[in-house]
Structure 1
Amino acid sequence: MPIFVSTQWLADNLHAPDLVIVDATWFLPPTDREGRREFLERHIPGAVFFDLEGISDQTSDLPHMLPEPRDFATAVGALGIGDGVRIVVYDALGLFSAPRVWWTFRAFGAQDVKILEGGLPKWLAEDRPVEAGPARRPPAVFTPRLDRSVVADIAHMEKAMGSSTQILDARAAARFTGEAPEPRPNLKSGHIPGSLNLPSSKLVKDGILVGPDVVRAELAAAGLDMSRPVITTCGSGVSAAILWIALESVGKRPQALYDGSWTEWASRGKPIATGDA
């Protein structure tokens, strides 16, 4: 099943009654940009805003962890996202946080969810319509069917170390090696021992996922064995989803995504390796 829809496809289907457009914009903590504020300033007509922090496990001390199924269903139902709809997700950076929300909907059992190729930047560059203000959709009923097998926890990662399962980390190389600090304070840099590094920035060009040949070349350069299972990870479970879609684009479905990612691993006193993979 294709991962993306084009801006032209979305423009042609903009007012389809069974289509829900989801603005999934989220920014890393050091920036002064805020997704909801920018959504209120301008968004694709008819879109609703998915708050990555708000629609998360509020009992966790970790950022934007998946919520319990009932809480997810309540939150997205209030946005007007129900069973049987088609969902198109986008973000304001082109391809950054949209894959995480795409993965979240799929994990909770949504059957038809796509990402807008090029996101809001491409939509704006083509001078397509936008609107401002809050979303306006009637409430709906979403039936959650969480596939827990695609969500790795810290125990899962401990078992993966030294096994046939590969761990692929999407963070920048200098954070992976331990040479650069983490964006979150008081968090050591480095990586899970035995993991591989493929910065998600190598897979995105001008807000669009690179082609399959480039994805395969980057995976090979990172040392990934396509015949073995792989778990994706990153800083907090967002760019790990970029690795997920890149892998799926070349026919390699990951085993799972590590929800807590480096923020959990490094804050729980787990083993930390530095240097290259």
Structure 2
Amino acid sequence: MDALVSTEWLAGELGANDLRIVDASWHMPAENRNARAEFEAAHIPGAVFFDIDEIADTSSPLPHMLPSPEKFASRAQALGLGDGSRIVVYDNSDLRSSARAWWMLRVFGAHRVAILDGGFQKWQAEGRPVESGKPVVRHRHFTPWEDRSAVRTLEQMKANLTTKAEQVLDARSASRFAGAEPEPRPGLRAGHIPGARNLPYRQLLAEDGTFKRGEDLRAAFEQAGIDLSRPVVTTCGSGITAAVLAFGLHLLGHDKVALYDGSWTEWGSQPDTPVVTGA
């Protein structure tokens, strides 16, 4: 199974014993959309709903931070995601939030994970089957495990200001990156981490919402000033669209990639973190 699978491929695999389909839709609060309710109204047959806000460290003041390995394993088991499962993640979100679930699953030890190219929008547009209601799930064993090599903390990001060992790539819009537009979350300063580059996540997508591939994808990173031979840390507002950039780098075979989990919600709220404005 490739890291990016087509709707045609998934349609042909529906019902396979080892296949698990996951809807990881997530929306910004201002959109007033209920991802779980939308899932229950219509989803790909056999899919389960991955609640990004609940499968998280809910004790943290920051949104949807990574949970403990034990909590993640418990939630994965309850969703029927077991050791050895082939997992296809999709979303019905303009934010391509399926990439966040893809990244989380890999952090916690699931490596046979793919994203559905074009998501639920493409699936529906092609007239493919959907079902409604809450799925009946058989629990499966998911071994608690964690590899934090793909995760960066606030302290690590501060240290990188000096070492510059890792390139920092911000997935937010150009206007938010420059500090010309206020942040959607209250209490955050506007701007970006010193030395960061900007690559709005939408620039990795073609007009039809599918991912760019090959040289078109590579060019997006290179035009943002990223040296693909060096390590990269991705960041965004709260760790959702940063995962889109991480996934794009994965498609290029570039796996020296980490994600700053707290992202701008953490950095922009600290009293002592330097902030830069302008392009």
TM range (shorter): over 0.9
Please, what is the CA RMSD of the aligned residues? 1.3
Q: 1:207 aligns with which of 194, 206, 209?
A: 209
Deviation at 1:101, TM superposition (A): 0.2
Aligned residue pair count = 276
- Supply the distance in 1 between the matched residues of 2:242 and 2:260 (Cα, whole angstroms): 8
Q: 1:231 aligns with which of 227, 230, 233?
A: 233
Deviation at 1:95, TM superposition (A): 6.4
- Supply the distance in 1 between the matched residues of 2:63 and 2:22 (Cα, whole angstroms): 20
Deviation at 1:94, TM superposition (A): 6.6
Q: Which residue of 2 aligns with 1:240?
A: 242
Q: Which moved more, 1:57-66 or 1:90-99?
A: 90-99
- Supply the distance in 2 between the matched residues of 1:193 and 1:150 (Cα, whole angstroms): 21
Q: Which residue of 1 aligns with 2:124?
A: 124
Q: Which residue of 2 aligns with 1:64?
A: 64
Q: Which residue of 2 aligns with 1:192?
A: 193
Deviation at 1:251, TM superposition (A): 2.1
Deviation at 1:226, TM superposition (A): 1.7
Q: Using a 3 Å threshold, how does the CA distance of structure 1 residues 241 and 254 change in structure 2: closer, same or farther?
A: farther
Q: Using a 3 Å threshold, how does the CA distance of structure 1 residues 95 and 113 change in structure 2: closer, same or farther?
A: farther
Which digits, 9 at most, give the CA deviation of each residue in 1:60-119, with x for residues without a partner? 000000100001111111111111111000001376100110010011000211111111
Q: Does structure 1 residue 251 correspond to structure 2 residue 246?
A: no
Structure 1 contact 90–119 (Cα < 8 Å) conserved? yes
Deviation at 1:211, TM superposition (A): 2.1
Deviation at 1:214, TM superposition (A): 1.8
Which digits, 9 at most, give the CA deviation of each residue in 1:27-59, with x for residues without a partner? 112101111010011000110000000100011
Structure 2 contact 192–277 (Cα < 8 Å) conserved? yes
- Supply the distance in 2 between the matched residues of 1:164 and 1:4 (Cα, whole angstroms): 29
State the SS of the aligned residue for 1:209. Answer: coil
Structure 1 contact 232–254 (Cα < 8 Å) conserved? no
Structure 1 contact 94–117 (Cα < 8 Å) conserved? no
Structure 1 contact 29–183 (Cα < 8 Å) conserved? no
Q: Does structure 1 residue 264 correspond to structure 2 residue 266?
A: yes
Q: TM-score, with normalisation over the residues of structure 2?
A: 0.96
State the SS of the aligned residue for 1:210. Answer: coil
Q: TM-score, with normalisation over the residues of structure 1?
A: 0.96
Which digits, 9 at most, give the CA deviation of each residue in 1:180-223, with x for residues without a partner? 01111221210011111111011112221112212222212211
Structure 2 contact 95–241 (Cα < 8 Å) conserved? no
- Supply the distance in 2 between the matched residues of 1:119 and 1:180 (Cα, whole angstroms): 29
**After superposition, where does 1:100-139 map in structure 2 within 5 Å?**
100-139=100-139
Deviation at 1:21, TM superposition (A): 0.3
Structure 1, unpaired ranges of 5+: none
Q: Does structure 1 residue 273 correspond to structure 2 residue 260?
A: no
- Supply the distance in 2 between the matched residues of 1:253 and 1:221 (Cα, whole angstroms): 19
Q: Which moved more, 1:90-99 or 1:135-144?
A: 90-99
Q: Does structure 1 residue 9 correspond to structure 2 residue 9?
A: yes
Deviant stretches of 4+, over 4 Å: none
**Identical columns (%):** 53
Structure 2, unpaired ranges of 5+: none
Read off the aligned partner of 2:196 and give its amino acid letter.
S
